[in-house]
Amino acid sequence: MIEKNQTIRLNRNCEAELIPSGDKINLLKGEVVKVTQSLGGNYTLFINGNLVKIRGKDADVIGLEAEDDHIQDIEEHAKKEVEEHLIWEKMKACFDPEIPVNIVDLGLIYDLKITPLENIGNKIEIKMTLTAPGCGMGPSIASDVKYKVSMVPGVTEVGVEIVWEPAWNKDMMTDAAKLQLGML
């Protein structure tokens, strides 16, 4: 178990995303980081004055067990009936690396559409927004949603569209999110 702000030396090279730009960077073995947030299987690290995000599949770089993100049998995965509640669960495991509340409770998901494909599997189309139009983490959060939803049995395609209408406001958050952020 890693405690918040614990200093850790990376045990191998690893790809990460700069926060908030989402630019890809390489972290090097031996660099010293601090874990500032651990939510939804991703980790936000502080390194050299910057915040970066690594995915759970790379958790071993900070001494934790890496998340297995490999689908063993793609054809069997595709044949399964998709369960909508599992898609929502996966989206609840997605976070803005700067806000400790999941994107569903923040009210960022506007639409979810499941379309059975002609051959096999299902296409999932998600419309989401961000808390602010200038949020540089949009592509990173959308990528995280796409990645996690693609792991749901029966899902073979995922599209995530960032939309701005209606404009997001704090009234779209669940009461649990408002409470967590000290707004209730």
In the three-class reduction of DSSP (H, G, I as helix; E, B as strand; rest coil), residue 31 is classed as: coil
Give the pLDDT confidence of 141-180 residue by residue, as tens digits.
Answer: 998 999 899 999 999 999 999 999 999 999 999 999 999 8
Give the pLDDT confidence of 51-89 residue by residue, as tens digits.
Answer: 898 988 899 999 988 887 667 788 888 888 999 999 999
Average pLDDT, the chain: 90
Instruction: Tell me the mean pLDDT in the region 22-34.
Output: 92
The CATH H-level (homologous superfamily) assignment of domain 74-180 is Fe-S cluster assembly (FSCA) (3.30.300.130)
Instruction: Tell me the mean pLDDT in the region 15-34.
Output: 89
For residue 181, which phi and psi values (nearest 5 degrees)?
A: -95, 5
Where do the structural domains in the chain lie, given as residue ranges? 7-62, 74-180
How far apart are the C-alpha atoms of 101 and 180, rounded to whole Å? 7
CA dihedral 177, 181, 182, 184 (to 10 degrees): -20
CATH number 2.30.30 given to 7-62: yes
Q: Give the pLDDT score at 1.
A: 64
